[in-house]
A and B are shown apart, each in its own frame.
Chain A
Amino acid sequence: MSPTNYLLLSALLFSIGAVGVLVRRNAVVVFMCIELMLNAVNLTLVTFSRINGTLDGQVMAFFVMVVAAAEVVVGLAIITSIFRTRQSSSVDDANLLKY
């Protein structure tokens, strides 16, 4: 099976994630879409690693996973605390930081 298919899959996953981030209002869903984009990138990295026959991309993928895990921890904590104060998880409601 050609590695190109993996790249196409990852592009598809990334696009789904990006569209999700842009159109969804629920913070948790937006968050999940971000995870989807990260994982699409991971898939790309691993695929290129395979194509080039080096381990760099795989090492990079581990880094992305670690960062994503840390990000989930902090992000979910923020979402929880916003929900506690505003009784809403919509990203459009958290719009105080503007001009």
Chain B
Amino acid sequence: MTTTLPALSALAQEAQPAVGEATGTASLAWLLFALPAAGALVLFLTGRRSDRWGHWLGLLTVVASFVIGLLIFLETVGLAPGERTRELALYSWIGSGSLNVDFGLRLDPLSLTFVLLITGVGSLIHLYSVGYMSHDPGRRRFFAQLNLFVAAMLVLVLANNFVLLYLGWEGVGLASYLLIGFYQDRPAAATAAKKAFLMNRVGDVGLALAIFLLWLELGTTQYNEVFGRIGEVPSGTVLAVTLLLLLGACGKSGQFPLQSWLPDAMEGPTPVSALIHAATMVTAGVYLIARTNPIYDLTETGRLVVALIGVVTLLIGAIIGCAYDDIKKVLAYSTVSQIGYMILAVGLGPAGYALGIFHLLTHGFFKAGLFLGAGSVMHAMNDDVDMRRFGGLWRKMPVTFVTFGLGYLALIGFPFLSGYFSKDAIIEAAFAQEGWQGWVFGGAAALAAGLTAFYMTRLMFMTFFGERRWEKVPAHNGEAYHPHESPATMTVPMIVLAFGSVGAGAALYPVLPEWLAPTVGELRELEGGALPHAVVPWLVVGLSALGVLAGYLFVGRRPVPVERPERVSLPVRAARADLYANAINESVVERPGTWLTRILVYFDNRGVDGAVNGIAAGLGGSSGRLRRLQTGFVRSYALSMLGGSVLIVAAMLAVRFA
């Protein structure tokens, strides 16, 4: 690989597509984010007056965005591949000396793919939320924040410069914070929201520093100028930029070492988990790396770090996912793990950018479907999430069972469903790497595929099959369970997403790499490496089948205790404790931070304040004593004047005669 590096960088320079002016339907692109933003504004400002119809307005704006996105997409498909990258300058946003930032949109295959994913899945989840949130008094506020999220996410992917991307990046962070903490009366939700916000800040600092560095080196933040001239930047700076961008991606996408906020974010309502914390926002990190591919093309080391982070994360997510009993947290760790696959893919460079985006799309379908299914189960089970209380639900909720089951099959990579195409392609590309990387990346990814099959099978058995454990125990709120199928507003989106889970892989597999080529370059299939392409699918399917079998043997065949067993083996205990991620964060970051602030506070109180207060007290005390000299007796003043005069005269005489 190292020898091909100059050729690769030359390719990256040439591959920058010509940027055309957006005309026709594409000139309406600003409506894509303006409509949801306007919806959010109306819902926030009108308050309770829009309680009755607010959710329909929220749904309408996102559907309208989807229609516009679809029209622009169809128009773009009609163009020649070289002309598909277009820009739409709206106005000059920041003009200050040498810093000039336009509020400009970039319409190219990558951003349009994301626009369709965000507005398409977003529309379905808005529709689902109409039913899911129907009993919640805060439904209007929920839709306002969801619309805000969609608008910010669209700004993020449509931006044609880094500063506007950062605006969207922070906007989705804000929306995510608001929605995780949506149930304001739950302390856990407030804590989770704060945790997500803080850990995202760590990543955002990285992104901001990367943007500063690029501006310092190149004096511009426009994508086409940065990517066109990135070859002028010294290689050390390029590496720093890629690592800082990766830090930003890790924060937003819940990657190691910033992964621990994502499972906690499941405190938010389930549609939020589906839209923000599975399908769209958490994939922004993958988008960022795929978008900045001309920068990553220049640094082998940077890409290696990206791939390593992806591998570590996909293993962490898969291992922890096996131990949780909370249905949403299992799905959340599954998300962490699947995004690890995407990060691994984009870390493979030109051999993987398109594959990462491909897996992102299919994952968007089936994981959103799985979360909506989990929400449907929770809806039926008094909002309980503990799978040990579920069981045998398939007969009670057939639609949920079938759609969830299809999502499950897609996720574990059942042949010819979505996940089979996208995940296997990534594992194949990983095995195709040269040397140790092929074995490590490919081996870890294949192992995690087996683990994925295990934990998802466990989830299926505990929720939909086996004994009906909910008949024996009361719900957490003390009432008896009455499982029932969800209303049509909830099942329709699940059915649509199930179709996506089944067909998206087969439909996109032949066309997506070619469609994305103008933005991320041609997909290069590597030959050789650790394992040949023909062997890998058999290996992965075999490992997944082993995982399913293990799931059946350990969970499906035995009765599941309602109370969580506490006497468990060491690996299970470690996985239940999130592999001690929180403990590590606490001891490495939080406690030294607390000590540092305590030392600083002590220094501030005793040192700085002490000096100031000490001087003031000293002056006050000495003046209190000195003022006793003011006796009020005129004659004593006269005596001191005389004494002073005598002293002065004596001094003068001494000087005169000495």
Q: Is the CB of B638 within 8 A of A99?
A: no
Q: Is B634 located at the chain interface by the 8 A CB criterion?
A: yes
Contact B635 A95 (CB under 8 A): no
**Nearest-neighbor residue (CB-CB) of A95 within chain B:** B632
A23: chain B residues within 8 A (beta carbon): 635
Distance of A17 from chain B, by nearest CB (Å): 11
In whole angstroms, how far apart are the Cα atoms of A4 and B474 in the complex?
122
Count of interface residues, chain A, beta-carbon cutoff 8 Å? 14
B639 at the interface (CB under 8 A from A): yes
A96 and B632: CB pair below 8 A?
Answer: yes
Question: Would you call A97 an interface residue if the criterion is a C-beta within 8 Å of the partner chain's C-beta atoms?
Answer: yes
Pairwise interchain contact B635-A21, C-beta atoms closer than 8 A: yes
A23–B634 alpha-carbon span in the complex (Å): 11
Chain B binding site: helix, strand, loop or mixed by DSSP? helix
Bound: A94/B632 CA distance, A: 8
Given contacts A99-B627, A99-B628, contact A22 B633 (CB under 8 A): no
Knowing A18-B642, A22-B639, A22-B642 are in contact, say whether A94-B630 is a contact too (CB < 8 A).
no
Contacts of B638 in A (CB 8 A): 21-22
Q: Which of B618-658 contact A (CB under 8 A)?
A: 627-628, 630-635, 638-639, 642
List residues 43-99 of chain A with CB under 8 A from any CB of chain B. Answer: 91-92, 94-99
On whether the beta carbons of B642 and A98 are closer than 8 Å, the reply is no
Interface residue SS majority, chain A:
loop
Measured CB to CB, the closest approach of chain B to A86, in angstroms, equals: 14
Give B422-452 as 1s and 0s: 1 = Cβ < 8 Å from A's Cβ atoms: 0000000000000000000000000000000
Q: Which residues of B have CB within 8 Å of A95?
A: 631-634
B635, A92: Cβ atoms closer than 8 Å: yes
| Given A99-B627, A99-B628, CB of A94 within 8 Å of CB of B634 | yes
Given contacts A18-B642, A22-B642, contact A98 B630 (CB under 8 A): yes
Hey, which chain A residues are within 8 Å of B631, CB to CB? 95, 98-99
- Taking CB atoms, residues of chain A closer than 8 Å to B634 are 30, 91-92, 94-95
A22 / chain B contacts, CB cutoff of 8 Å: 635, 638-639, 642
B630 proximity list for chain A (CB < 8 A): 98-99
CB-nearest residue of chain B relative to A34? B638
Bound Cα distance A73, B634 (Å): 19
Within 8 A of A (CB), among B260-315: none
In angstroms, Cα B627 to Cα A96, docked, is 14
CB-defined contacts of B628 to chain A, threshold 8 Å: 99
Question: Closest CB of chain A to B636's CB: distance in Å?
Answer: 9
Contact A97 B642 (CB under 8 A): no
Complexed CA–CA distance, A18 and B642 (Å): 8
CA distance A91 to B638 in the complex (A): 12
B319 to nearest A CB, angstroms? 79
Q: Nearest chain B CB to A26's CB is how many angstroms away? A: 12
Q: Nearest-CB distance from A72 to chain B (Å)?
A: 17
CB-based contact A91/B627 at 8 Å: no
Indicate if the CB atoms of B632 and A98 lie closer than 8 Å. yes
Residues of A near B632 (CB, < 8 A) are 95-99
5 closest residue pairs by CB, A with B: A98-B632, A95-B632, A99-B627, A99-B630, A91-B634
For the A-B complex with A22-B642, A91-B633 known, give 8 more contacts whose Cβ atoms are closer than 8 Å: A18-B642, A22-B638, A25-B635, A30-B634, A91-B635, A92-B633, A96-B632, A97-B632
User: Can you report 28 residue pairs joining A to B where beta carbons are below 8 Å apart?
Assistant: A21-B635, A21-B638, A22-B638, A22-B639, A22-B642, A23-B635, A25-B635, A30-B634, A30-B635, A91-B633, A91-B634, A91-B635, A92-B633, A92-B634, A92-B635, A94-B634, A95-B631, A95-B632, A95-B633, A95-B634, A96-B632, A98-B631, A98-B632, A99-B627, A99-B628, A99-B630, A99-B631, A99-B632
